[in-house]
Amino acid sequence: MTQHFVVIGSPIVHSKSPQIHQVFATQVSLDISYQRQYCPDDEGSFTAVIEAFFHGGGAGANVTVPFKQMAYAYCQVHGGLSEHAKIAGAVNTLLLNRALLDNGAPIVDAIYGDNTDGRGLVTHISSLGWVLTGARVAIIGAGGAARGVILPLIEAGITQLTVANRTVSKAQTLATELSAASDKISACDIEICATSDLRGTFDIIINATSIGLTDATLPLSTDLQTRYAYDMMYGRALPFLEHFAARGAQTSEGYGMLIHQAALSFERWTGHTINVEQAILALGNKS
């Protein structure tokens, strides 16, 4: 029997998740269908899409920008959240809570949320040979993508994490919310997209905004230095990476993170563990 999966986002046409999950399915001999699903950026539309999908027999869904916090809020009320999702305040993986279903709960009350983003990012960065232990890290953005990776970065042994965002209060709120978990997190007090003045030297700078999907750019200061620059976006020229490559930094787009977090989602849905290196070779991309 074919198992049905979907990735929900806005925009979504760029997503390579269908190809990645098909490679996973081939590796473990499963019959699946994995589709892209565009959704208008509002809570009512998002709720309608996920409920219709699972009512229609869907086995699992991925959630990408801008819906990760909406998915968190939904699962908080309905089927529950994993510890990773609770800490992140964001969800990128939806599945059915079988225990609730077995107890007679309707599907709408059994949609469960997990977050595999941070573990995927840490695994990919480590595979690149970039050392996280003792690293000073800056992350640009304070939305669902940033929330999902902060605690796994802390757990990987970094010594400092600076959260920067165009709305500084949002970065400060995020740092405060996570302060109980770590005293290594601080917020940048400069509105980087207004003043071009984010300054300092970091070992790794991560772009967790979706600005790379548009022609817009982050007005980064020429004083900002880093050894490594990572953009969670992928699949096109990324000005954020070009900015730092021109200054001698090693760079990586987020395709490898996508594959690693996808493998964790696939395992949650199907129970099958994926050989990620084998999958990357099959996909023809070693990002």
Catalytically active residues are: 68
User: What 8-state DSSP symbol labels residue 212?
Assistant: G
DSSP letter string, 207-275: E-SSGGGSS------TT-EEEEEEES--SS--HHHHHHHTTT-EEE-THHHHHHHHHHHHHHHHSPPP-
3 state DSSP class of 143: coil
Query: Which of 153-168 are b and which e, b meaning 16 or more Cβ less than 10 Å from the residue's Cβ?
Result: bbebebeebbbbbbeb
Of 156, 129, 164, the residue nearest 250 (C-alpha): 129
Is residue 216 a contact partner of residue 209, using CB atoms and an 8 Å limit? no
Which amino acid is located at 259 in the chain? Answer: I
Contact 148, 90 (CB under 8 A): yes
Q: What's the CA dihedral at 93, 98, 104, 109 to 10 degrees?
A: -10
Q: 106 preceded by cis ω (within 30°)?
A: no
| CA distance linking residue 23 with residue 103, whole number of Å | 34
Q: Answer yes or no: are the C-beta atoms of 91 and 35 closer than 8 Å.
A: no
Query: Closest Cα partner for 110 from 43, 35, 59?
Result: 59
The DSSP output letter for 50 is H
